[in-house]
Amino acid sequence: MTTATHELDLLIIGAGPVGLYATYYAGFRGLSVGVVDSLPELGGQVTAMYPEKDILDVAGFPVVKGKELVAGLVEQAATASPLYLLGRTATHLVSDEASGTVTVTIGEDEQVVAKAVIITAGIGKFSPRPLPAAEGWMGDGVAFFVPSFDGYVGKDVVIVGGGDSAFDWALALEPLAASVTLVHRRDAFRAHQATVDKVLGSSVRVITNANVAQLMGEGRVTHVEVEHVKTKESETLPAQAVVAALGFVADLGPIQQWGLETDKRHIVVDSTTATNLPRVFAAGDISDYPGKVRLIAVGFGEAATAVNNAAVTINPEAHLFPGHSSEG
């Protein structure tokens, strides 16, 4: 079997917002750059799970939808003329300081030989936490994410969960759906308090200390049975759509086998975003250091830091600080 080999200055593993910004910045530094991601589309978890989500922490944008942010980042990254390797999983990584290269195997018959690598893989491989009552119902009116609001117009929607996603979707669907009910097993929420307050002040019905015990319908869900934990009483709600917003389980997948120092869920980096492996850096949610704050805004800064330090690693005569991108 012939192995296809791509030779680049910099390979970025992860095509989410931080990876896309790192791609742009690599082009700004004059580096040839490639991006690999196991998902088939650019944008990472934002595209896969939250394209309609309002993002509030990006500088210069009081509010921007996930899909609009990704579109802008893709346009910006295009200036670097990147090689995109999408729908492919990086399975192995070998850093060889003697040759000044990092070899990343992609699938079974493809590899990238780069002078440096930046890992921006977000939370790594993720899978949604299951809703026991929804077993066997997926695709029949039950979903884990809401990539588009169109399918919920005029329907009775039950959202299960107490985190940011559950409340964001409740708030977004409230003016479109016939009714929205949010069911949470506790009376305290993990969601941002401002969003919780907005939902509590809307027409959304919030049921706490309760579980969705059963889904009902012929071929497609039409009702759900909600059981109140304290009283053990049950009630039946109309529901042509159920969103199980229970979060997800994440792991680093093959990355755990690459010899990187990790703290189980994240890759440990220093102030330059360097990992313990030569020529390998990490930025965004997948990286960790004392005082880390996991925001997209922070990830953008880490991406620039990673690219600038990678540029010096690739060419020791290069300047760490290249000047401002606004200087023509």
DSSP 8-state assignment for residue 80: G
For 115, list phi and psi in degrees, rounded to 5.
-85, -15
> What domains, with CATH codes, occur in the chain?
4-126+249-314 (3.50.50.60), 130-244 (3.50.50.60)
Q: Residues forming the annotated binding site? A: 37, 45, 50, 90, 126, 285, 326
Which residue is associated with the tokens 């929420």?
Answer: 189
What distance in Å separates the CA atoms of residue 225 and residue 203, rounded to the nearest whole number?
20
Give pLDDT, residue 12: 98
* Nearest-5° Cα angle at 245, 232 to 36: 155
- 186 close to 208: Cβ distance less than 8 angstroms: yes
DSSP 8-state assignment for residue 38: S
Q: Residues forming the annotated binding site for FAD? A: 37, 45, 50, 90, 126, 285, 326
pLDDT in tens, the chain (328 residues): 577 999 999 999 999 999 999 999 999 999 999 999 988 889 988 887 778 788 888 999 999 998 999 999 999 999 999 999 998 999 999 999 999 999 999 988 899 999 999 999 987 666 778 899 888 876 778 988 887 889 999 999 999 999 988 999 999 999 999 999 999 999 999 998 999 999 999 999 999 999 999 999 988 999 999 999 999 999 999 999 999 998 777 667 889 899 999 987 899 999 999 999 999 999 999 999 999 999 999 999 999 999 999 999 999 998 888 776 666 5
- 45 close to 122: Cβ distance less than 8 angstroms: yes
Cα-to-chain-centroid distance, residue 115: 26
What distance in Å separates the CA atoms of residue 70 and residue 73, rounded to the nearest whole number?
5
> DSSP characters for 227-247?
EETTT--EEEEE-SEEEE---
Strand 64-65 to strand 54-55: parallel, antiparallel, or no bridges (unpaired)? antiparallel
pTM: 0.77
- 156 close to 238: Cβ distance less than 8 angstroms: yes
What distance in Å separates the CA atoms of residue 161 and residue 158, rounded to the nearest whole number?
10
What distance in Å separates the CA atoms of residue 54 and residue 64, rounded to the nearest whole number?
6
Cα-to-chain-centroid distance, residue 14: 10
Give the tokens for residue 92.
Answer: 């192995």
For 106, list phi and psi in degrees, rounded to 5.
-120, 115
Helix spans in the chain (H): 17-28, 44-49, 66-77, 164-173, 193-200, 296-314
